[in-house]
Chains A and B, each alone.
Chain A
Amino acid sequence: MTTEVLLDCRQVTKRFGGLVAVNGVDFSVERGRIVSIIGPNGAGKTTLFNVISGFYRPDGGEIWFEGRRIDGLRPDQVAARGISRTFQNIRLFQNMTVLENILVGMHTRVRASAIQVLLRSRAFLDEERALVEEAFRLFRFIGLRANPNELARNLPYGEQRKVEFARALASKPKLILLDEPTAGMNPQEMAETTQLIRRLRDELGITVVLIEHQMRVVMGISERVTVLDYGEKIAEGPPAEVRRNPKVIEAYLGRGAALGSAD
């Protein structure tokens, strides 16, 4: 495995008024890795994702992706560079079908111009057909059981999570940011999702960063774990090591949740 750094956050800081949600965090990810970010509630994990994906501009620090600076770019520009994400509370396009959700995820890859759309040119029709075919393929890859033409809002929770996965994969990202992908899932769904995350990396070659509360998932798939607490990075390393780190245990125990309790 190469050790090329794909994503590099340097001294990233994000404040909300007086609250420092992310405080001078250094965080880098090598291409082809699966890494986790953990930390108690309110530690700044989601905020870090929002800064990386362009929803918040950092108040300090730099973010580099594939050797280019991406802090200050708009979310759609970050997406176009090859960073895709899911949301902590599912954000599907509720009144669009499952397939349409996936097709929207392909937006950055569309080449047909608006003129070609209006003229229904060959190039547009061919591209559209190819995209629909690929959407069906992704649908199967994710293991969705719903009707592909069903509205997203009519799907059960677990399926909605999977659609969000499929939608995030549709742009063929180089890096995917998953914000608590197993939240609200039963143990079987959780196992399926863990398996799926592995396949993203192994079969599609996508680098994965996930925020996760479920220790079973974190310990099972991540090659490296970064721990945030009160916006600061308090530990980093292989999962087994991080879990024995006194500072980490303190951060969790201090708020009444033992680190090992989930498994």
Chain B
Amino acid sequence: MGVQNTFLFEVATQVGIFAALALGLNIVVGFAGLLDLGYVAFYAVGAYLWAIVGSNQGNVAFGTEIFPLAPVWFFPFLVVAVGVAAMTGILLGLPVLRLRGDYLAIVTLAFGEVIRVVVNNLDKPINLTNGPQGIRAIQRPPLFFKPALTALGVTVDDATLYALYFYFLVLLIIGLAVVITRRLEGSWVGRAWTAIREDELAAQAMGIPLVRMKLAAFAAGASFAGAMGMIFGAKQYFINPESFTFMESIGVLSMVIVGGMGSIPGAVVGATVVTVLNLQVLKGFSLLLNQLRGTGVVLPIINYPLAQWPTQLDPAKYERLVFGVLLVIMSILRPQGIIPERRHQLELAEGVPTPATAAPVTGAGDDD
């Protein structure tokens, strides 16, 4: 299999990781209406959890000889990462969820930064995270199907195999994430979250325990990030605090917004659009410009020789600018996102007489 193909799988894997993150954050921000600007913290928790036990770093930290854990431990630890991230979500949520709106956003933002700074500095007194150098040689999941492939006479190099492996693993997890979020959405859990988003006071009057349901949203969102963080670390083979900056939280949030807050297909589409734009379109455009520059093409009309185009103006370098412009355009033209949230249309089961309903009521509109 060619290098080009592996690259495509890698982009797809990256899209998938972000899609799962967006699905998780969509529970918190889209469903429950809790603006979490530190979501990347949970991603970091999952990534570092496996990085420590799945590399020699575990020995450095705990003075043992048992690490790295064998690849088979990857899957049990995926469950552990989900649990630990969810617990972290609850621990953060407990003091914070009494805050509203802007305050919640600021505190979660700070929490995201605190986690990054802690990870950056926890190379002493005990060297748990290896500080800014990061952790390398992280175990990957077991290639349990390799013997079967060899038996079938298929020989693939490990790099390609892992690229495919992570792609399908991420695909599987997204499938799972979509099923989980859809089921939650279409039940009393999702309705309670949306009720909180719409009107906290009225939700409480309906008997919804605010703190408990908000914690549940935080924990559910965090658990997705925990799982994806772990996969990210294993895929990258190396992690350091740079991967878990505030920009990552903002990136995932913008995926949710671009896709459509509260919309499950929206989260997936938003993650795809934003990631592909960053990884493919802008970089591809930069490459194209570079090639044209070499061939001495002159822009028509304004008669500008592309060779003079400064490298500082590479489109890939304005990733964030393009991103910002995209967000501004979206919020003006389509504030509800690419695929807006749609509420469930409920019907009576067969055999139950439907109430006589007149044509949908028109008029009135927003009266607030």
Interface residues of A in 87-111 (CB under 8 A from B): 87, 91-97, 99-100, 103-108, 110
In the complex where A74-B209, A91-B202 touch, is A139 in contact with B195 (Cβ < 8 A)? no
By a CB distance below 8 angstroms, the chain B residues around A112 are 187-188
Q: Could you tell me if B364 and A155 are in contact, using CB atoms closer than 8 angstroms? A: yes
Distance (whole angstroms) from the CB of A95 to the closest CB of chain B: 6
In this complex, what residue of B is CB-closest to A114? Answer: B189
Q: Could you tell me if A146 and B361 are in contact, using CB atoms closer than 8 angstroms? A: yes
In the complex where A53-B205, A155-B364 touch, is A117 in contact with B357 (Cβ < 8 A)? no
Q: Could you tell me if A96 and B191 are in contact, using CB atoms closer than 8 angstroms? A: yes
Interface residues of B in 179-219 (CB under 8 A from A): 180, 183-184, 187-189, 191-192, 194-195, 198-199, 201-210, 216
**In the bound complex, what is the Cα–Cα distance between A112 and B190 (angstroms)?**
13
In the complex where A100-B343, A112-B187, A140-B355 touch, is A157 in contact with B204 (Cβ < 8 A)? no
Interface residues of A in 112-154 (CB under 8 A from B): 112, 114, 117-118, 120, 124, 128-129, 132-133, 135-136, 139-140, 145-151, 153-154
By a CB distance below 8 angstroms, the chain B residues around A157 are 364, 367
In this complex, what residue of B is CB-closest to A173? Answer: B207
Mark interface residues in B321-341 (1 if CB within 8 Å of A CB, else 0).
000000000000000000001
Q: Could you tell me if A76 and B346 are in contact, using CB atoms closer than 8 angstroms? A: no
B302 within 8 A of A: no
Q: Could you tell me if A154 and B202 are in contact, using CB atoms closer than 8 angstroms? A: no
In the complex where A99-B346, A149-B343 touch, is A139 in contact with B216 (Cβ < 8 A)? no
**In the bound complex, what is the Cα–Cα distance between A124 and B188 (angstroms)?**
10
B125 within 8 A of A: no
In this complex, what residue of B is CB-closest to A75? Answer: B204
Distance (whole angstroms) from the CB of B68 to the closest CB of chain A: 32
In the complex where A117-B187, A139-B355, A154-B365 touch, is A96 in contact with B198 (Cβ < 8 A)? yes
B360 within 8 A of A: yes
In this complex, what residue of B is CB-closest to A149? Answer: B345
**In the bound complex, what is the Cα–Cα distance between A103 and B142 (angstroms)?**
46
A105 touches which of B187, B206, B346 (Cβ 8 Å): B206
By a CB distance below 8 angstroms, the chain A residues around B367 are 157, 160
Size range of the chain A interface in the assembly: 35 or more
**In the bound complex, what is the Cα–Cα distance between A118 and B341 (angstroms)?**
21
Q: Could you tell me if A87 and B352 are in contact, using CB atoms closer than 8 angstroms? A: no
Distance (whole angstroms) from the CB of A229 to the closest CB of chain B: 27
Q: Could you tell me if B184 and A97 are in contact, using CB atoms closer than 8 angstroms? A: no
**In the bound complex, what is the Cα–Cα distance between A17 and B360 (angstroms)?**
47
By a CB distance below 8 angstroms, the chain A residues around B345 are 97, 149
Q: Could you tell me if B361 and A150 are in contact, using CB atoms closer than 8 angstroms? A: yes
A197 within 8 A of B: no
B124 within 8 A of A: no
Most buried by A among B202, B364, B367: B202
**In the bound complex, what is the Cα–Cα distance between A112 and B210 (angstroms)?**
18
Mark interface residues in A183-199 (1 if CB within 8 Å of B CB, else 0).
00000000000000000
A85 within 8 A of B: yes
Q: Could you tell me if B191 and A104 are in contact, using CB atoms closer than 8 angstroms? A: yes
A87 touches which of B180, B183, B202 (Cβ 8 Å): B202
In the complex where A75-B204, A156-B363, A171-B206 touch, is A114 in contact with B216 (Cβ < 8 A)? yes
Most buried by B among A80, A96, A139, A151: A96
A94 touches which of B188, B198, B204 (Cβ 8 Å): B198
Interface residues of A in 183-221 (CB under 8 A from B): none
Q: Could you tell me if B346 and A132 are in contact, using CB atoms closer than 8 angstroms? A: yes
Q: Could you tell me if B360 and A146 are in contact, using CB atoms closer than 8 angstroms? A: yes
By a CB distance below 8 angstroms, the chain A residues around B152 are none
A55 within 8 A of B: yes
**In the bound complex, what is the Cα–Cα distance between A118 and B343 (angstroms)?**
19
Q: Could you tell me if B361 and A117 are in contact, using CB atoms closer than 8 angstroms? A: no
Mark interface residues in B274-291 (1 if CB within 8 Å of A CB, else 0).
000000000000000000
B299 within 8 A of A: no
A79 within 8 A of B: yes
By a CB distance below 8 angstroms, the chain A residues around B354 are 136
- Chain A residues within CB distance 8 Å of chain B: 53, 55, 74-77, 79-80, 84-85, 87, 91-97, 99-100, 103-108, 110, 112, 114, 117-118, 120, 124, 128-129, 132-133, 135-136, 139-140, 145-151, 153-157, 159-160, 167, 171
- CB-defined A-B contacts under 8 Å, sample of 27: A55-B204, A55-B205, A74-B209, A76-B206, A76-B207, A76-B209, A79-B206, A91-B201, A93-B195, A95-B341, A96-B191, A96-B195, A97-B344, A100-B191, A100-B194, A100-B346, A104-B206, A107-B206, A114-B184, A114-B189, A118-B184, A133-B352, A147-B360, A147-B361, A149-B343, A153-B368, A155-B361
Closest 4 pairs between A and B when the two form their complex, measured CB to CB: A79-B207, A108-B207, A156-B364, A93-B198
Extra 17 A-B pairs, beta carbons < 8 Å, given A97-B346, A107-B195, A133-B352:
A76-B204, A76-B207, A76-B208, A91-B202, A91-B205, A93-B199, A93-B203, A96-B198, A112-B187, A114-B184, A132-B349, A135-B346, A145-B358, A150-B360, A153-B368, A154-B361, A167-B206
